[in-house]
Structure 1
Amino acid sequence: MIKVGIMGGTFDPIHYGHLLAAETARETCGLDEVWFIPSFIPPLKDNEPGAEGHERLEMVYRAIDFQPYFRALDIELERGGTSYTIDTAEALVEHHPERSFSFIIGSDRINDLPGWHRVAELAELVSFIGVERPGAPIEKSKLPAALSDRLQIAEMPLIGLSSTDIRKRRAEGKSIRFMVPEKVYSFIQRNGLYES
């Protein structure tokens, strides 16, 4: 069985923290591949993404270029509407029965996992890999057994980057160079993304 990690999110924009989380999970948990899936409308965010879906997908393609074990999929962008993880998991399991899937999730979202849409069904289909994020330790003991039993923890070097901070810096006219891959930086500059 081919082991695939799923990195979901808005990727608005994708940055080195996302790539480090994916690589840490791949290495720690013995994943064969990591698939990046930009969401259309994320259920746990208050506002819609700043960049259009096709722009966010293009930034993901640019960020993972030449990485043989990273792929980008547009299934949530194509489906439209609110991007619930259970819908994506059901589609992946149906279309790729030869693969097992683990969703790679930051520690802040792992702690929220019991409140996810149809989480009991989700835990029957996939497992989870929790990566540490600054200021949000994973509290595995506080999760229900059905979730904690399906959770692996991947310790990664702490990197204090967030897409929100990157967008804010751009809006304030500050540099974001070296926070995102060079091809992503060029794309953002050329298209005037996140400017005030």
Structure 2
Amino acid sequence: MGKIGIYGSSFDPITNVHLWTASTIHHRCKLDQVIFLPCSNKRKDKQMKTEDEHRWNMLHLAIKNNPAFSADDYEMKQNAWNISTYETLKYFKSKYQQDTIYFIMGADLLVDIGKGKWGNSDLLVQENKFIVMARDGIDMLKTISSSPILRNNDDGETFHLIDKGLAMEISSSYIREEFSLDGEPRYLLPEECYQYIKKHSLYK
């Protein structure tokens, strides 16, 4: 039985912080694999202007040299507008039945789940395991204890809380803004992704 982390994001574009986060979690949580899961551009809470093909290509360029990293386009291929993390995790648990599946997320998302803002929030927490990365200004233990959804579905192994040790919060939106204004975000993302964006004139 292996341990697999599902790392979902828009990856528009993937950044060095995404890679560092995945590497940190892989090492500290003794995962066998981290699967990068780019979200669908059809989700109501995401408004992406970058074509799926470009996000997918850059993701592969970024992770190709790490055998512990892989990518899955499950959410990209979904046609439904109401794609939920609950259904996505059901898919991965069915695909990897002999392994333990963890959903990787930031503490800001833990807050939203605790407030019931995600589809099937109660069942999502009850039936799954999470690796939660610290975010500045968020007390993860207090977040869990103050939410009935989180605390009443926590069996002691539901949440694996990780403090990265460094506050590295460079966002994809910052990189997109830099490209759009002729800035220079070169060393904030993998070199091959930087060159890919230049070649295809993305984020202009």
Fold-level similarity (TM above 0.5): yes
Structure number with bigger Rg: 2
In 2, Cα distance between equivalents of 1:154 and 1:172: 35
- Distance, in Å, in 1 between the alignment partners of 2:144 and 2:159 is 8
Query: Aligned in 2, Cα 1:135/1:168: closer, same or farther, shift over 3 Å?
Result: farther
SS in 2 for 1:111: helix
Rate the CA distance shift 1:95–1:160 in 2: closer, same or farther, 3 A: closer
The one-letter code sitting in structure 1 at the alignment partner of 2:162 is A
Structure 1 residue 171 corresponds to structure 2 residue 180: yes
Q: Kindly report the root-mean-square deviation, in angstroms, between the aligned alpha carbons of the 2 structures.
A: 1.8
Q: Name the % identity.
A: 28
- The residue that corresponds to 2:98 in the other structure is 98
Conserved 8 A contact 1:7-1:103: yes
Q: Give runs of aligned pairs for residues 31-180 of structure 1, distance below 5 A.
A: 31-41=31-41, 43=43, 45=45, 47-82=46-81, 83-114=83-114, 115=116, 116-138=118-140, 139-143=143-147, 144-145=150-151, 146-147=153-154, 149=156, 150-156=158-164, 157-180=166-189
Q: Secondary structure at the match of 1:189?
A: helix
1:141 is displaced (CA, Å) by 2.9
Paired with 1:137 and 1:16, the residues of 2 have a C-alpha distance of 25
Give the counterpart letter for 1:128 in structure 2.
F
1:151 CA displacement: 0.7
Residues 159-186 of structure 1, C-alpha deviations (whole Å, 9 max, x = no match): 1300111111111110110110011111
| Cα deviation code 1:31-53 (max 9, x no counterpart) | 111000101137573x4112111
Distance 2:88 2:192 in 1: 28
**Take 2:80 and 2:194, find their aligned partners in 1: how far apart are those partners?**
28
Question: Deviation at 1:109?
Answer: 1.1
Q: What is the TM-score normalised by the length of structure 1?
A: 0.91
Aligned AA (1:19): L
Query: Which consecutive unaligned segments of at least 5 residues does structure 2 have?
Result: none
Distance in 1 of aligned mates of 2:73 and 2:17? 21
- The number of aligned residues is 194
Q: CA deviation at 1:54?
A: 1.6
Q: CA deviation at 1:147?
A: 4.6
Match of 1:186 among 187, 190, 195: 195
TM-score (norm 2): 0.87
Q: Which amino acid aligns with 2:2?
A: I
Unpaired stretches in structure 1, ≥5 consecutive residues? none
Change beyond 3 A, Cα 1:52–1:148? farther
Check conservation: 1:93, 1:125, Cα contact below 8 A. Answer: no
